[in-house]
Amino acid sequence: MLEVLAAIALAPWAHPLAFRPLTGWHRGASGTVVFPYDRPRRNEPAESTAWMARNVRYRSPAIADPPNKTLAHLPRKGLIVWAVTFRGHPRAQPIIRLDLRRARHLPCCDGQRVAGGVSELDGAGPSHAYTVIVQIYFGSFRPALRVQAQQALSRLRLPPPR
């Protein structure tokens, strides 16, 4: 019985977060990993990250938040879309909508200046099964980058709820 409950609890992590291919973009993912901020006694998979990058080579570990090694080389035409899913308190959040117009624009970042800043979306995954955060890093304020960022967002494949 305990094994069945554990399998149900971990079901969203059976299909890690990923981006579908998009011409002109590079992509990668962490797969499902142990959440680095969890208490040591909770050693089961609980986080999945994925990224897409355009006009910049992605140099950071997939779980780096923010991806400072990559951001240090972000050119004016560069763009990074980074996403993470994790256990959290998704019941209190609305389901995420991957629409850049809904994003908050924030100053960026810990230890690394990003000319165009960062936009962030957050919310719950399907059926409130997990929490989702998406960060979009802009090399400049060019309107074309916003169009490209939305194209990348549309390629994000969230894990099914169970």
User: How do residues 14-67 score in pLDDT, each as one tens digit?
Assistant: 678 999 999 999 999 987 777 555 554 455 557 899 999 999 999 998 888 889
Greatest Cα pair distance in the chain = 55
Q: What is the per-residue pLDDT for 12?
A: 56
DSSP state of 88: S
Residues forming beta bridges with residue 135, ordered by sequence position: 82, 120
User: How do residues 90-118 score in pLDDT, each as one tens digit?
Assistant: 678 899 999 999 999 887 766 677 888 89
Q: What is the per-residue pLDDT for 38?
A: 52
Q: What is the per-residue pLDDT for 3?
A: 47
pTM score, whole prediction: 0.85
Whether residue 11 is predicted with pLDDT greater than 70 in this model: the reply is no
Nearest CA-CA partner of 116 in 62, 69, 78: 78
Nearest CA-CA partner of 119 in 61, 80, 87: 80
CA distance 58 to 36: 21
Q: What is the per-residue pLDDT for 36?
A: 58
Question: 115 near 140, Cβ under 8 Å?
Answer: yes
- The torsion defined by the Cα of 90, 61, 152 and 131, in degrees rounded to 10, comes to 0
CA distance 91 to 128: 6
CA distance 20 to 158: 11
